[in-house]
Amino acid sequence: MKQHPHAWRYLSTTFLLAVLGIAILVQVIRIQNSPEVASVIDQGNYVWKDYFPPRGEIYDRHGSLLAGNKTVYEIGLDLTVNPDMPTVMLALQMSGLDINEVNYRISLAPANAEYIILDDFVTANKAKTLMTLQEAAYGDPTGKNLDAIYFKAHYARSYPENDLASNVLGFVTEDNHGYLGIEEKYDNILAGIPVRILVPADPRRATEYPTIPPGQTIILTIDREIQAAIEKILDQALESTKASSGTIVVMDPRTGEILGMSSTPRLNLNDYQSISTVFPGETPFNRAISQAYEPGSVAKILTMAGALDSGAVRPDTVFFDEGYILVGGFRIVNWNGGAWGNQDMTGCLANSLNVCLAWVSTKMESESFYSYMQRFGLGHATGIDLAQETSGRLKIPGDSDWGPVELGTNAYGQGVSVTPIQMVVAASALANDGKMVYPHVLYAQIQDGKQSNTRTQIIGNPISSSTAHTISEMLANALETESSAALLPGYRIAGKTGTAQIPLSGGGYDERDINASFIGWGPVDDPRFIVYIWLEKPQSNRAASVVAAPIFKQVVEKLVVLMDVPPDAVRLQMIGR
Amino acid sequence: MNNVTQIVQKVRQAPWRVQRQWIGLFLLALVMVAMVASLYLNVTVGATLAGRETISLQATITTNQRVNADSETLLAGLTSVVAMQQRAETIGFLPASPEDITYVAVPGFMAHSAVDMSTPGTVAPAVPIILPEYTESWFDYFINQQASSASGGGQP
């Protein structure tokens, strides 16, 4: 066959185009399999990544942040690049890191370790100093750079108010677990749910990350201004009375919202590691809920309320006080050992007569008396939403350690133990038309931008509304009769002191120290607050009317300003308009 | 019909034309393969860049969230009770006592109650941000199309 004269042209063109096409294909394949691309796309590899949602924030009832989050750093060292250790250690020291801690961590690392964590929860300031040094040393020709240091940012709990409301809040440890107070009680909803997802290292396979909901934000019933005020008053009270500890609780008796709760000692929550120093031994973290004690005469308001409600006595019932009464074969006397003669029930409360109240309880008889005490919640935890609440102890007939004399002593608050919050809840029935409210610290939860408020719960009606009004009037009259130091001009207040003996572990009572308490609420006709004061072992005076009542007044002085409660006359005038 | 037969005969009768046809077909196939390969490379590069940008944006979001948290905590510290009381005292304010306050009846005034932190409109989206069109395969696409057409969707 004859060759076409121009066949070579076609063949060479074909050859060139074929080479070009094949070269393109080879280049495409080469690019896709080049080390450069492989280093970027890390084809086929997947890595597990843990995402810890930021812990939910805690606000007070007016939106002030009580517990938030801040950035801290984990600082690690890549050993595969042979870091210059003297340079690294010098930089860590210059950044303010704890070299002893770093050396300890290095000593724990296995011999073949490729990466070690030098320190964790390093503050942003220290980490930024180290980053600046790393940047300055980048590309050092002598090899003394800090390129092997890695920074991993994460959240840590932060408390901008330091020790404010610390006994209520609790704290969060480095393992992101809440301990004590609100942080422990609501740990589940605050912490959020950590998510572990398989993330492709290949960016071509990058996909939408799942939405990781943060921990729920919560709002407390606490008013930080009230909280700060009662903490300051309590600190001053401890200093002036030389009491060993103190507790103040402020609650709204209509809703059960805790407006303030202070207890000593307090802990700077940003330095929670010092808890064992601040709370040595078995010191309760929050005495208001965790320390039961014999309250003494403040419990007389419950005895009298029960007696009035059961019909055992009336306000004008007269009791002749001979100075003692025998109950269960034991002689009960008054606080001053004196005989007070004829007293109506208001007089019994005003003069805080043990003999009278023991007579009242015996008149009620034990079944009725203990029935009322149980209806007031004594012997049972209130269920307040704070961790580590204790229930106190109410011995009742049938218990192995109950004796007939208890009927008399329990009537004036000895031989029975309660926590301050139990007394506040029980007394809320007296202040709130006979309705006892569930005490709570959680005002609301925020989820997906929606706020769910905690509803008011009535947990019992131990007495009738009329009895509640009667006992409130009696207590208000009693305070006015004795010109109590608890009274605030312009405001009608109901309340009762309590000076209680302290039982000894080996039996009997301490002859020297006492517990001084005061419970009160106001304004009597429309209570907005109920306040409980407890000073343990005050040294300046042994009478609650001297040490606890003035503190109550100081608290109420602050409350009426902070809660916008006008004097009774002004308020009634406004209502009348 | 005769014209067509003549043309076919002429082409068949020229061997270099047959040769050119084969060369043309080969080159066409080669060009197509190269085009597909280039297109694939282009798409891959685009996906890689988008993926890296996604990862980068994700990191930016995380950083911004941390900065927000830091700022909020810092602000709370600056406006803490202790700090505000010190500032108030510095500029000459004193705590008010009940005697200092004059109450005035204001019709319609509502006493301030607790905070409401509801934020309508910021509810987290329940549906994925990336539409399925960007992630589904051709097979998924056709299946979904079939499913949607089978389910009707006509207006009543």
pLDDT (0 to 100) of residue A156: 92
Q: Where are the beta strands (DSSP E) in A2-95?
A: 46-51, 58-59, 65-78
Q: Enumerate the residues of chain A whose CB falls inside 8 A of the CB of residue B85.
A: 228
Amino acid B75 reads L
Chain B, 19 to 58: residues with Cβ < 8 Å from chain A are 19-20, 23, 26-27, 30-31, 33-34, 37-38, 40-41, 44, 47-52, 54-55, 58
A184: nearest Cα among A445, A386, A446, A383: A386
Q: Are strands A217-220 and A442-447 parallel, antiparallel or unpaired?
A: antiparallel
The structural domains of chain A, ordered by start, are 49-201+208-220 (3.90.1310.10), 224-267+288-576 (3.40.710.10)
Please compute the mean of the pLDDT values over residues A302-329 and round it to a whole number.
Answer: 94
In contact, A70 and A110? CB cutoff 8 Å: no
In angstroms, the CA A399 to CA A374 distance is 14
Condensed to tens digits (0 to 9), the pLDDT of residues A198-252 reads 777 666 666 666 777 788 999 999 999 999 999 999 999 999 999 999 999 999 9
**Cβ pair B23:A219 closer than 8 A:** no
- Pairing status of strand A509-522 against strand A529-536: antiparallel
Integer Cα distance of A46 and A572 in angstroms: 72
* A211/B121 CB distance under 8 A: no
Is this model's pTM higher than 0.90 or not? no
Query: What residues of A are in contact with residue B116 (Cβ under 8 Å)?
Result: 451
Interchain CB distance below 8 Å, B30 and A18:
yes
Hey, which residues 118-157 in chain A have their CB within 8 Å of chain B?
A: 124, 153, 155
Compare all CA atoms of chain A with the CA of B56 and give the residue at the minimum distance: A203
How many pairs of residues across A and B have Cβ atoms under 8 Å apart?
167
Angle at alpha carbon of residue A574, lines to A573 and A577, rounded to 5° = 90
Residue type at A501? Q
- The distance between the two most distant Cα atoms of chain A, rounded to a whole number of Å, is 150
Sign of the four-CA dihedral B59, B65, B69, B70: positive
CB A190 within 8 A of CB A57: no
Q: What Å distances lie between residue B35 and A69, B29, B138, CA to CA?
A: 54, 10, 20
Find residues 32-71 of chain A whose CB sits inside 8 Å of chain B: 32, 40-41, 54, 57, 59, 61-65, 68-71
CB contact at 8 A, A280 and A273: no
For chain B, give the longest Cα–Cα distance. 122
Q: What is the pLDDT of residues A9-67, one digit of tens each?
A: 777 877 888 888 788 888 878 877 777 776 666 656 777 777 778 899 999 999 999 99
Measured between beta carbons, the chain A residues lying within 8 angstroms of B20 are: 10
Test mutation, B23, B45, B117, chain A, max A CBs within 10 A = B117
Of A10, A221, A561, the CB nearest to B23: A10
Q: Can you tell me the distance from the alpha carbon of A373 to that of A412, in angstroms, rounded to the nearest whole number?
A: 12
Q: CB–CB of A577 and B105 under 8 A?
A: yes
Who's near A44: CB < 8 A, 6+ residues apart?
A202
Confidence tier at A267 by pLDDT (50, 70, 90): very high
Q: Which residues of B touch A160 (CB under 8 A)?
A: 73, 76-77, 80
Distance, CA of A120 to CA of A178 (rounded, Å): 19
Q: Model ipTM?
A: 0.82
Q: Which residues of chain B have pLDDT under 70?
A: 1-14, 120-130, 151-156
Query: Could you tell me if B93 lies within 8 Å of chain A, comparing CB atoms?
Result: no
